[in-house]
Structure formats: structure tokens, C-alpha cells
Amino acid sequence: MRTFTITEVDDRLVEDCNCGGIPVLAGPTPSRLQQIRVDVQRTDTVRYVRTAGSTPGKPDSVAITGVVTLLDMSAGDNYGNGPVVVQSEISWDFGFYNYLPIQQVVANQVLPDTAAHVLPSLRVGGITYGPVIQLSNSAVMAANLPPRTKPIRRLYYAKGVGVVAFLEGGTLWYRLP
């Protein structure tokens, strides 16, 4: 069983100047846009990170028990040029990272990236979630995994619930009811 504790949810409104990053005296009215960040800490076991002296023959590592940002979501106004866009990034357990295409899914748009798919539903642990965004790990993260880590290949995200499952190595982990 894997356990995670949410350590912080930072949900705030920020002002964006609508001026292309250049302050102006009599410019457009600032936009108030929402930003959300969710931080979690894995609490069931210890994770490891490479030390400066690590080599393939001697994979020294030290325990890392810190907090990681799971979800970082914000609205941006394209510097006043066009509609507001939602930008979301998701990380999971020191080895998974990708963009979460929430705006495209809500707008029912075709996803341009082959790493993300929308599943009409997903049944895990006796519960059916739907729709669910299935994300594959980014190539950069998969190539640079911390020691003693099996690659997290896929992550499943459901609206209103968050991460409902992930595929690590050949094992599917899922959220308990």
C-alpha cells in the first residue's frame, strides 16, 4: 500500500498586468486569475536521490523525504492577447512529469500530444471513474529516474478526484475507496 499526505493546497487569485510583461502607466486593467498548487509527501516508505559521487558501479544514494508538488495549475491571459488559457503540470512520486491537458479536454478538443488520451471511463478497485485522462511519462523524466525506482509509465487523472491510478513498472496501483 502506498500512502501520500497532502501537505499544502495553495489556491489563490493573482493579478496579471495584461501588458506583455512591461508595466505601463495607463494600460489595460489587470486580470485576476486563479493559481492552484497541491503539495504531497509520500509517507509509506523512503525514496532515494543520487549523491554527487554516484556511479553506475556504485549507486550511492541518500534518503529523500521532502514534499513534492503534485499539481501546479494556473490560468494565464496570454499577456492580454487572446483568451485566458489553463496551464497544468502534474508530477508523481519523483519520476513522473507531464502537462495535464485540462483545457483541451473540457473543450472536447483533439489532443495534439500522443502522450495524453481521454478514456471514457476507467474501472479500478471496484470503482468506475470517467472521463479519465491517461498520461504517459515524459521521455526526459523516464530517462533520468532516481535510483531504486521503477519507472512510472502511465498516470490516470479524473476530474474532481485527481490521480486515481498509476502504472509503475508492471504494477498498476490504484486509489482505494
Who contacts 63 (Cβ-Cβ below 8 Å, separation ≥6)? 46, 47, 48
Check residue 100 and give its pLDDT. 84
SS3 content of the chain, % helix, strand, coil (to 5): 5, 50, 45
Cα distance between residue 149 and residue 171, in whole Å: 13
Residue with C-alpha cell 483533439? 110
Confidence of residue 147 (pLDDT cuts 50, 70, 90): low
Check residue 80 and give its pLDDT. 60
Check residue 119 and give its pLDDT. 93
Dump pLDDT digits (tens) for 36-51: 888 888 777 766 666 7
Mean pLDDT of 98-121: 85
As for how many domains the chain has, the answer is 1
Q: Is the pLDDT of residue 126 over 90?
A: yes
Q: Is the pLDDT of residue 22 over 60?
A: no
What single string gives the DSSP state of each residue in 31-48? EEEEEEEEEEEE-SS-EE
Cα three-residue angle 94-96-102, rounded to 5 degrees: 130
Range of the domain at 141: 4-174
Q: Which residue has the higher pLDDT, 49 or 54?
A: 54
Q: Which residue has the higher pLDDT, 83 or 118?
A: 118
Check residue 133 and give its pLDDT. 92
